[in-house]
Amino acid sequence: MKTWVCDLGQKLEIFTPFLGKYRPFVGRCCQTCTPRSWDCFYHEQFSSLGFRNIIRRTTATVQGCWDASPSSLLATVQYRGWLVRRLCYFLAVLDWKVPADAPGDLAERICRSKRVQDVAAGQARGSTGDGKSPLRWRDKVLKILAEIQAPLSLFMLRLCGWALLRLLNHLFLNVQLHRGQLEMVLRAARTPGVPLVFLSTHKSQLDGLLLSFVLFSQGLGVPRVTVGGQTCSRHLRALLSSLGGVFLPTRTERMRSGQDEELSGAVLAAYVEEVLKSQQPLLIFLEEPFSGTLHLSAPAWEWLALVYRALRDSAVSDVLLVPVGIAYDVAPDGHCAGQAHGARPLSLRACLWAACRALSQEFGCARVDFAQPFSLQEFVAKNLVRRSCAGKSLEELLLPTVLGTGSSQVDGNKAEVWGPGARTAAGLKPEEEILVTKLGLHALSDGVACSAVMAVGITSALLLHKHREGVFLSRLMSDFSWLLEEILLRHHDVGFSGQLRAVVPHSLSLLSARLALYRLSPPGDILVVPEASAVAQRELGLHSVALLPVFASEAVGACAIRALLVEMLPFLGVPAGPCGVVLSRDELHRKTLALLWLLPPNLLGLQPCQPLECYSQDVLDKLIRCGLLEAEESEREHQLCDVARRPFLRRPPWTEMDFADSDSDDEDNAGKRCFKLCQPRSSPDFLLFLCRLLSPVLKTYVRAAAFLDEASWPQPEPAYVDTLQRFLAEDGGFAYADGSLALSSLQTFKEMGVLKEVASPAGPLLHLGEPFRSRENREKLVAFIQQFAEP
């Protein structure tokens, strides 16, 4: 690996990927938002420390843990091996330490909190004053605190840790953890007076137990795990609370005039401050499980706002944030992805039944990745002073192009419009709400960037986006090797190792329910044919969605190229054929920006700190680097470079050259640059593959635009989202009928002016914007999005 400082002051790294001895160190923090954190807790040798299977416990590991044990126990370890083999899991769990716990007087501290006392005093002044107000408000505070958390039970922690260790060994072949990443987080945990907050992606309902097990077993303490929007039964809630789960206070319709809600908010804020002061690790899941795209959930935003308020109010000097990425070959509850989320409370019986059913299935491997910790104080100092309101709205930038009423504003900057999704944290200014949203999206992007790509994801992407009609196993292994190299070259890691002849059959065995395998005797090969059903396409799509952040820039560029080819060559149905077509850089830049404006950055895994114009240039650079575009030399440049003497020239050609130093002349020449469309030798159909990666998202937007003709107006936003989800699910060939994409399309349409939110006595209602009340303009919107989508 080589490191140097470029002219802009940023440190750049180049590495040569090699799957055996070296893997790329993923998850470096952002140099734009946290430049001082870039060199903290990081060591060059971390990438070569290897991996650890955290669910594998042997007699050797148990003996190492109990070196300081009494002689009788050591004798048991040395001479009673048969007993230790049966008790090694239990002995390992007994050795796990709890470095930090909630203080014993937590309830008294919260009752003495200035924020809680101010709210209680204000409500007491507004009451009738019967002399029992202090006692009554204290009982309410204790009741709210009991809803948020319960004291940790060490017995239940160790018992459930032992049961979970046995369960994980039955569910997964291994659960890998990078030793270098673990050492980095352990160094951060030793920072005096600074708590750790883990910000994790959410792929399964098992994530909370898995990450709590990882942190507890590796000496990082028992984290307080935030529970999202999923409602739980009373018994399950009590069990999760004793294991470290924390819940948002329930908000019911019985609350009178917001008084009780104000008190619950004060108690919750005081509780988060006390957790951070005691340096207990806090785990926040940034998204809802089963979502095919990146979408910051409302509970996650509220927990992040509470952490920010603790820093703003000087309850702690700083907070170290650790993005976490989780990856599965097959998610243990991936079959629940298509069901209605949160339809009924999750019960303890349902969890036990799901665990029993999971024991009869195979889920392959799992991987947990920690990104580089960064300072919340530094992030706030860098981002809070920025003004996010500058620039033009999406309606000003994109609407003229959609309706054909004017030219696209290529040189316009898009204003940053952030929708927090839940503004329940009182005491935040509008710019602070924007900051919290940017923090959540940034951490979610970092968590996805450090997540490993699993073998099942690569195989599913090849079968769904490249070999829909079937492929021979030998060709599939060749394409698997090519795609693996492309992933490593883009500085993303993979969650497997070994020979291809073992890895590819392993992934096919996990997908066997959706595949048909035919052994052909004369060639001696195997034909792999994916099912044509909607269920199979949806399952393969959910596995392959992990590749979209890896190839997001190239996929956007490929869809922009397709849109240009649709304009230039309308008789071509597939954009993979016309190689050698010359494309204007200005037109390609215009189409790329239009697509980047249309799709929210979080859908593509882009960091929210960079302007979209920079991403447009990055898209162009990556298309050239991967071999899809080649710079076309203009005739004038060819003449300037050709200075050979010709027999009929009266004067040398260099006398006609203009050596004047003119910036405007350089800009005019640069604006006329052109590129020739090429086919990479390693993968001739790479352009079509990239278009298909982004096609499910674009098809959702096309269907959402078509839904405008079916909906009745006006209607409340929740009713619109529910009806839209049912409309999307009716499409049998649709792969990602999930709520996050429906919400993303709603956000885009509101920014574009397609939908307008109007206040009413019954609440805000959605209306069609004035231009789109015409059926002709709605058809133009569908055609505008359809030009980017692969048919």
Residue 301's closest CA among 442, 404, 205, 207? 442
Calculate the dihedral angle through the C-alpha atoms of 275, 276, 278, 279, rounding to the nearest 10 degrees: 120
Judge residue 653's burial from the number of C-beta atoms within 10 Å of its C-beta, 0-12 exposed, 13-18 middle, 19 or more buried: middle
pLDDT at 134 over 80: no
Supply the pLDDT for residue 643: 42
Q: How confident is the model at residue 225 (pLDDT cuts 50, 70, 90)?
A: very high
* pLDDT for the residue numbered 22: 56
| Same fold: 454-543 with 695-786 | yes
Of residues 515 and 337, more confidence is placed in 515
Of the candidates 373, 287, 395, the residue with the CA atom closest to the CA atom of residue 46? 373
State the pairing for strand pair 674-677/582-584: antiparallel
How are beta strands 175-178 and 224-226 bridged, if at all?
Answer: unpaired
Cα dist from 279 to 190, 274, 443, whole Å: 10, 9, 20
Q: What is the pLDDT of residues 277-336, one digit of tens each?
A: 988 899 999 988 766 566 788 889 999 999 999 999 999 999 999 999 999 999 887 655
DSSP 259-292: HHHHHHHHHHHHHHHHHHHTT--EEEE-S-TT-S
How confident is the model over 550-582, as pLDDT tens digits? 999 999 999 999 999 888 775 554 444 556 788
For the chain, give every domain's residue range: 2-383, 454-543, 695-786
- Best CA proximity match to 323, nearest among 488, 181, 494: 181
Backbone phi, psi, residue 785, to 5°: -75, -35
- Does the pLDDT value for residue 539 go beyond 60? yes
The predicted model scores a pTM of: 0.86
Per-residue pLDDT tens for 259-274?
A: 556 888 889 999 999 9
CATH T-level fold of 454-543: Arc Repressor Mutant, subunit A (1.10.10)
Structure tokens at 288: 């809802």
CATH class of the domain comprising 695-786: mainly alpha
Of 19-23, 278-282, 433-437, give the lowest mean pLDDT range.
19-23
Residue 588 has pLDDT above 70, yes or no: yes
pLDDT at 431: 86
Work out the burial of residue 218: count CB atoms within 10 Å of its CB; fewer than 13 is exposed, 13-18 middle, 19 or more buried. Answer: middle
Q: What is the pLDDT of residues 395-429, one digit of tens each?
A: 888 888 888 876 555 555 665 655 544 444 557 88
Query: What angle do helix axes 473-489 and 500-510 make, rounded to 10 degrees?
Result: 100
Mapped onto helix, strand or coil, the DSSP state of residue 719 is helix
- What pLDDT sits at residue 305? 93
Report which DSSP code applies to 665.
Answer: H
pLDDT tens by residue, 633-657: 655 544 444 444 444 444 554 445 4
Ordered strands of the 515-520 beta sheet? 471-472, 525-530, 515-520
How far is the C-alpha of 352 from the C-alpha of 283, rounded, in Å? Answer: 24
Mean pLDDT of all residues in the chain? Answer: 79
Identify the pLDDT of residue 701: 92
Length reported for the chain:
791
- Amino acid identity of residue 578, one-letter, is P
Query: What's the mean pLDDT in 59-88?
Result: 49
Amino acid type, 91: L
